[in-house]
Structure formats: structure tokens, C-alpha cells
Amino acid sequence: MPKIIVEVMPKADLLDPQGKAVGNSLKRAGHNVSTVRIGKRIELHFDHTPTEADLEAAKKAAADFLSNGVIEDVVAVTVEA
């Protein structure tokens, strides 16, 4: 299915308690990771190949609604045909 994928991450300088908890758990299980951060992947599905206009609309929705610029960054908005 053609889709646009929006990826959102908590801002780098903000505490990410979810990532911290998962990181601690991974370390306890023996994984050699230093930190973990958890973001969101949002898939917008289409019944046609997304157009330039669809991508622009998705970028706007990503900035205005799918993320909150105070606490999060949109790291990518990509078409996956």
C-alpha cells in the first residue's frame, strides 16, 4: 500500500523517561547500549501513489498536529510507494 511515513522524536535535550526505562532494562539484560530514545512512526496510507501535494499536506500535518514543536522534532516525512 502506498504510504507517507512521518517520524517524530522527542527533542534531543529533553528527558525521555520511556527511553530511559527501556534503556535500563536492556542494560540489565546484558545489552551494551548507552542510551535509548523512543519516538513515533506514523503511517499515512493512500489508495493512490502519493503526489507532491499529498507530501506537502503530510509535512504540514506533521508539523502542526502529528508533532508538538515544544517537545518533539519531525525527523523525516518520506513517501514509500
Asked if 12 touches another protein (CB under 8 A), the answer is no
Choose the binding region for another protein from 16-24, 26-34, 45-53, 73-81 (rule: CB under 8 A). 16-24
- Is 71 a residue that touches another protein (CB under 8 A)? yes
Shortest gap between Cβ of 58 and another protein (angstroms)? 15
- Residues 6+ away with beta carbon under 8 Å from 21: none
Distances (CA, A) of 51 to 2, 34, 61: 11, 40, 15
Note whether 45 binds another protein by CB under 8 A: no
**Is residue 75 a contact point for another protein (CB under 8 A)?**
no
Q: How many CB atoms lie within 10 A of CB 40?
A: 12
